[in-house]
Structure formats: structure tokens, C-alpha cells
Chain A
Amino acid sequence: MTYVSTALAALADPTRRAIFEQLGDGPRSVGAIARGLPISRPAVSQHLKQLKEAGLVSDHADGTRRIYRIDPAGLGALRQWLDRFWDDALAAFKAEADAETDREAEE
């Protein structure tokens, strides 16, 4: 299952695993996560970015803070696959529809 591999790679790093485990207890701000770890806030942010790109966590704004939470049931990776799938599919659909318009314009 190729879509899982990004998630696996993201969690291969022990620090990212530690961050992910913290989020397993509930949503947290970057600051709250950093307090429990021996690394800087920017470093935590960087790891969170990678977890987010792997579809494992999601975030939302709460005032000036960003709150991170785990995407449920590992669906993040699947969702990422579906996102890309529909991006590709709709782009191909648009190309086909527009090609038809262009052909008609030439006729």
C-alpha cells in the first residue's frame, strides 16, 4: 500500500514519533508540545510540518496559536492519496473538456 509509506517514513524519526504520541492524548499547541520535549519550538514546528505533509496530523488556528491534532485512524495518508487522485482526475477531465472546445473553435 503505497499511500502508507509516507506516513511510515514520517514516523521513522524518534522525535516525530514522540510528537505524534503527545497528540495521541489530545490536541496541543506548538508551545505545549515543545514544553515536553528537549527541542526548540521552531524544530517542533518543522517536525509538525512533516507530519502534516504525511497526512498524520492536521492543524487549525486558535487566535494566534496553531492547534495540532492527529488525523483520525490513519486516514490522513489515505486522504492524501485521494486528494492527489482527484486532483489528477479533474485535471485530466478539464484537459479533455477544454480540448473539445478548442477543436470546435478551429472548425
Chain B
Amino acid sequence: MTQTITPAPIRRSVEVKVPPARAFEIFTASASRWWLKTHSISATKSPIKDVVIEPRSGGRWFERGEDGSECEWGKVLAWEPPSRLLLAWQINADFKYDPSLTTEVEIRFTPAANGTLVALEHRLIERMGERGVGMRDAFTRGWGLLLDSYAQHAN
């Protein structure tokens, strides 16, 4: 297979009733209050206590477990309240932090009639396919091998 297909970015948006500055604040400073506690990537499997997005470009983005352990998610690429936040999602397809991998999560906060439109785009996810699960290798060796492997796992 010689063709290259680039996956479209993941795009999601929600409308909230607070103004952009407050929406930005809730998204970042209050992340611990809404971030799903089950979505931990921590190796210690400790439940998430805090999700921290440091309020500056170059800041860290990480989870802190109830046992105090910290696990990186990525970093802050652009900190532009109240309108825009750009995060580096550096978790690979094995759900491990990988500083050599950068996918981008951009969140835009736009004034809307009754509050704020929060639009999220997670892009460059094709980079995840270049490492981690080794699927790319399987593909270059041919579909047959990959399919055999799939079938074995599935049966």
C-alpha cells in the first residue's frame, strides 16, 4: 500500500453559559473539578486527584494521583486567555507519556449569544501511528501479516 491517508482531526464543540474568560478558567484552573477521574494514564493506577494545566506557555499538563504520584500528559504550547489554549498531547497509542511525540489539542473560546462556544480540535493524531503499537511496521510488511495477527488475537 503506497497511498498515504491523513486522518482528519477530531473536532468537538460545546456551548456553555459562562463568558469566555470564565470558560477558559474552568477549562484550565478548575480542570480537576470536571476531568474524568477514570481517565488516568498513571502507571501506578492511582485514581486522579488533580489535573494540572500550568497557566503559561511552556507549562506542564499532568495528572496527580491520590497517592501523590505525577504523570505527564504533555505541555502548554500557547496560553492565550480568554480566547485560545493550545496543548501538546504527548500520550502515545500505548497510553504512555512520550516526550518525543507531539499531537496538538487546540481549544478556542468564542463569545456566543448565551455564553461561549468552546471548540476543540485534536490534530496530528497520525503521528501516534508512527510509533507505539507497531502497527505501521505491520502495514509496511503487508496486510497479510497484520490480518493474521488480528485474527490470532481475535480468535
Contacts and interface: CB of A to CB of B under 8 A. Distances in A.
User: Most chain-B CB neighbours within 10 Å: which of A8, A24, A89?
Assistant: A89
Contacts, number: 123
B135 A17 contact: no
Given A75-B129, A86-B120, A69 B18 contact: no
Interface stretch (B9-17, B42-50, B53-61, B78-86): B9-17
A15 B27 CA distance: 45
A92 interface: yes
Contacts of A4: 133, 153
A90 B5 contact: no
Interface residues of B, number: 50
Interface of B: 1, 3-7, 10, 12-18, 22-23, 26-27, 30, 33-36, 39, 93-95, 115, 118, 120, 122, 125-126, 128-130, 133, 135-136, 138-139, 143-144, 146-147, 150-151, 153-155
A90 B17 CA distance: 14
B47 to A, nearest CB: 15
A12 B154 CA distance: 5
Interface residues of A, number: 40
Contact of A92 (B18, B35, B153): B35
A79 B36 contact: no
A95 B22 CA distance: 14
Given A69-B5, A79-B125, A94-B16, A88 B147 contact: no
Given A1-B133, A71-B7, A24 B26 contact: no
Nearest to B129: A73
Interface of A: 1, 4, 7-9, 11-12, 17, 20-21, 24-26, 69-75, 78-79, 82-83, 85-98, 100-101
Q: Which 3 residue pairs spanning A and B have beta carbons closest together?
A: A73-B129, A12-B154, A96-B34
20 contacts: A8-B153, A11-B151, A17-B151, A20-B143, A25-B1, A72-B7, A73-B139, A74-B139, A75-B129, A75-B135, A78-B93, A79-B7, A83-B10, A86-B12, A93-B16, A96-B26, A97-B17, A100-B22, A100-B26, A101-B17
